A and B are shown apart, each in its own frame.
Chain A
Amino acid sequence: MEACNCIEPQWPADELLMKYQYISDFFIALAYFSIPLELIYFVKKSAVFPYRWVLVQFGAFIVLCGATHLINLWTFSMHSRTVAIVMTMAKVLTAVVSCATALMLVHIIPDLLSVKTRELFLKNKAAELDREMGLIRTQEETGRHVRMLTHEIRSTLDRHTILKTTLVELGGTLALEECALWMPTRTGLELQLSYTLRQQNPVGYTVPIHLPVINQVFSSNRAVKISPNSPVARLRQLAGRHIPGEVVAVRVPLLHLSNFQINDWPELSTKRYALMVLMLPSDSARQWHVHELELVEVVADQVAVALSHAAILEESMRARDLLMEQNIALDLARREAETAIRARNDFLAVMNHEMRTPMHAIIALSSLLQETELTPEQRLMVETILRSSNLLATLVNDVLDLSRLEDGSLQLEIATFNLHSVFREVHNLIKPVASVKKLSVTLNIAADLPMYAIGDEKRLMQTILNVVGNAVKFSKEGSISITAFVAKSESLRDFRAPDFFPVQSDNHFYLRVQVKDSGSGINPQDIPKLFTKFAQTQTLATRNSGGSGLGLAICKRYVNLMEGHIWIESEGLGKGCTATFIVKLGFPERSNESKLPFGPKLQANHVQTNFPGLKVLVMDDNGVSRSVTKGLLAHLGCDVTAVSLIDESLHVISQEHKVVFMDVSMPGIDGYELAVRIHEKFTKRHERPALVALTGSIDKITKENCMRVGVDGVILKPVSVDKMRSVLSEILEHRVLFEAM
């Protein structure tokens, strides 16, 4: 047998079978080769494929399988050893790769499966999120509704509108079947159905406030689900078939003004509540969602706030009305009081006059009678008549003065007077009386007391006289000393005068007068009463009491008017007393400080000789004329600015210039224009300088022109010094000057 490298098939080939095998192998190979191609194509197309190397492996495996089958095609017939070797190699490779792939797939397939599960999971999640989104959107929607509702509620300050709007909006937003508001009655023991959404005119249902369901709702600030059968929810008769929708109730706090404390928030326990009941549509199987409940709570709070605002507004309107009424009443009262005062003053004045006339008659005639021949009894009677009528006269005077003092209608008559002589006169007046009683009177006037002072001389004398008179009156023996000096600042602040706050100034000084007597003294307890009207204590009233009870009261008023203080000290009965008063008087020289820059105002007939610092403006185009006028005014002390043109004048002029002299006879230049322009520039009269026209002739035309433009005076040129002086005087005094020739 020859060695043959051929491998022969084991059994004789069946032609048909062979053919079919051949074709199948071919197609298998084809398919095997096309699968990877397809894979590559589609993977390339897809963006993500994490297992590329698996693909490669798989591809290799497929390709090799294909190759194997392809090579198989050659093995059907006689084939050489090479083919066999190739076949074997291919098969081996294929085996290796397929095993590797099989092993790999063990790892891969669970991963791929889990991807699928994750995908499912994500899909579920997405569905869930979608649901939640839907929910949030609804909530946001509701939130918007709430805001809108709140806005609606808060945009009005009318109670009823607020509540009605609330119900309407809530009903709309939540698609309620019914919404009702129960308000507490006045008594606070019942809730009354006040507003409903659907029913037009709610019948006045009331329920007692202390029902358990109501208490339940009131005790919490949340919206509470209640039974549709509770009395507050049974608003309509429902037919038996209907399943009533769920009902929720919430409390609405009614904040009263007095609940708002300054420091802390309103107490919960003292509140009144209203009840808001909301019903979902029946047969709808809808349920109250949490967000809907929250909305209801928020709305309830807003309503509370809006209602409180409305309440506050009502309060304030009421208060304002009240105030207006009170104002009117007060006004009326004031007017009546004024009328009364006027009437009283008129009465007093008339009565005073009426009373004085007969009194004078009595006094005069009694005095005259005294001069005639009288028997001792008659004399005694006449003296008594005289004394009594004098007393009466004094009383009448005092009453009138006092009433005027009290109104504040009394005004001091301020003038310059000789201070020293006032004291001397008082001394002279009192000496005879004192000497009769054997009392010595000493007067000490300080050396630095000004000779002259400014104040009300008459009333100062009255005061001193009164005080000294009292001292004399109530001393049976001993001495009276009167001291007068200028009070220095330390002594001014007397601890006995706690309300007295003297102010030092250069224009005034404080006169301090002290009257000391060694008389009967005063009980310290009685001292406060001394200055009150008509109050006399037993100790003060003597049988010879010549003074009315008004004396010291009037003195006190006078002293107060003079911005001073008066007081009396006494150690006790029998130990004498000291009366002191301080009043404010003016210094004569210094208080006449004139603020005018050009000297004090003089009488109309006086002509000022000089006008220091008076700012004037001269407009004249003629150089000589200008120089002379300027010199003239400068000679009189004025501060002169001289210009030649109208524009220059307007440029220079200011409010400081008091007079403007303008030449109106300049040929070619309308001097009057300056007057017109000045009038335009200074619209207020007091700001405008006085305008004086200088002219060569005062004829009709000049006069007319002057009137037309509104000058304050006209002077004929040339002007003498005296003329200028009197012109300035006149202008400054009266602001107007008639032609000065």
Chain B
Amino acid sequence: MDAVAQWRNQWFDYTQYLRREGFLDDQFAQLKKLQDENSPDFVVEVVSLFFQDSEKLFNNMAGALEQNVVNFKQVDAYVHQFKGSSAWIGAFRLKNVCINFRNFCEAQNLEGCLRCLQQLQQESSALKNKLENLFRLEQQIVAAGGSIPMME
């Protein structure tokens, strides 16, 4: 089989896997739709932005949770922001963790919050890896002269 076709299949399988596992949802497909001649690296840019932001947010959250008197409202605000961002790029699992996180914040459950933060960080780095793989694959396809198929 042609290399390009092989890679395309790989890509296809991979995206399916990501969808199945809940790493990404439909929103990601929407994001891909916005990629056109005017903004060919749109998805990559947005995703990078997302991970940059999330770094900052994680630091902020950690800092806020380390305080003697924890300002849960502040933490909630950070989580809300993170949740919004995750929703926009279609990070399904992250979004769900955020929902839990917010519940803990409302309940002012410090331990729960810390656990959620940890979870967020883990999930986030996992997603990052997965997405990097996906993008590498896409680059390969494009470099070989093929075109990236549409996401369903």
Contact = CB atoms under 8 A, between A and B. Distances in A.
A624 B50 contact: yes
Contact of B76 (A622, A625, A667): A667
Contacts of B50: 624
Interface stretch (B25-33, B62-70, B119-127, B140-148): B25-33
Interface in A681-739: 696, 717-721
Contact of A624 (B30, B36, B88): B88
Nearest to A627: B46
Interface stretch (B16-24, B37-45, B107-115): B37-45
Interface in B74-89: 76-77, 80-81, 83-85, 87-89
Nearest to B81: A622
A622 B85 contact: yes
Contact of A721 (B34, B42, B83): B34
Given A634-B38, A696-B84, A717-B84, A624 B77 contact: no
A317 to B, nearest CB: 76
Contacts of B151: none
Interface string A617-646: 000011111011101101100000000000
A667 B49 contact: no
Nearest to B90: A718
A668 B49 CA distance: 22
Number of contact residues on A: which range applies? 20 to 34
A591 to B, nearest CB: 33
Contacts of A718: 27, 30, 87-88, 90
B53 interface: yes
A634 B89 CA distance: 17
A623 B53 contact: yes
Given A631-B42, A717-B84, A624 B53 contact: yes
Interface string A597-635: 000000000000000000000000111110111011011
A665 B42 contact: no
A717 B49 contact: no
A665 B27 CA distance: 19
A670 to B, nearest CB: 13
Given A622-B84, A623-B53, A721 B46 contact: no
A628 B84 contact: no
A721 B33 contact: yes
Contacts of B53: 622-624
A634 to B, nearest CB: 7
- Most A CB contacts (10 A, CB to CB) among B46, B53, B89, B90 go to B46
A164 to B, nearest CB: 91
A628 B89 contact: yes
A631 B85 CA distance: 14
Interface string A248-286: 000000000000000000000000000000000000000
Contacts of B39: 631, 634-635
B88 A696 contact: no
Contacts of B42: 631
Nearest to B54: A624
Contacts of B83: 696
B88 A635 contact: no
A621 B85 CA distance: 11
**By DSSP majority rule, is chain B's interface helix, strand, loop, or mixed?**
helix
Contacts of A631: 31, 34, 39, 42, 46
A719 B26 CA distance: 11
Contacts of A621: 81
A622 to B, nearest CB: 5
A719 B34 CA distance: 12
A407 B33 CA distance: 60
A508 to B, nearest CB: 40
Given A631-B39, A631-B46, A721-B33, A624 B85 contact: yes
Given A624-B46, A631-B46, A721 B30 contact: yes
B113 to A, nearest CB: 16
A624 B34 contact: no
B49 A623 contact: yes
B127 to A, nearest CB: 13
Nearest to B80: A667
A596 B36 CA distance: 26
A131 to B, nearest CB: 107
Nearest to B52: A623
A668 B83 CA distance: 15
Given A624-B49, A668-B77, A717 B88 contact: yes
A341 B75 CA distance: 79
A627 B84 contact: no
Contacts of A719: 30
A720 B30 contact: yes
Nearest to B76: A667
Contacts of A634: 34, 38-39
B17 to A, nearest CB: 22
Contacts of B88: 622, 624-625, 628-629, 717-718
Contacts of A665: 80, 84
A627 B89 CA distance: 10
B84 to A, nearest CB: 5
Nearest to A668: B77
Contacts of B76: 667
Nearest to A622: B84
A193 B27 CA distance: 108
A627 B45 contact: yes
Given A622-B81, A627-B46, A634-B39, A696 B30 contact: no
Given A696-B87, A717-B84, 7 more contacts: A622-B85, A625-B84, A631-B39, A667-B80, A667-B81, A717-B87, A718-B30
10 contacts: A622-B81, A624-B84, A624-B85, A628-B46, A629-B88, A634-B38, A667-B77, A718-B27, A719-B30, A720-B26
Shortest beta-carbon contacts, A-B, top 3: A624-B85, A667-B77, A631-B34
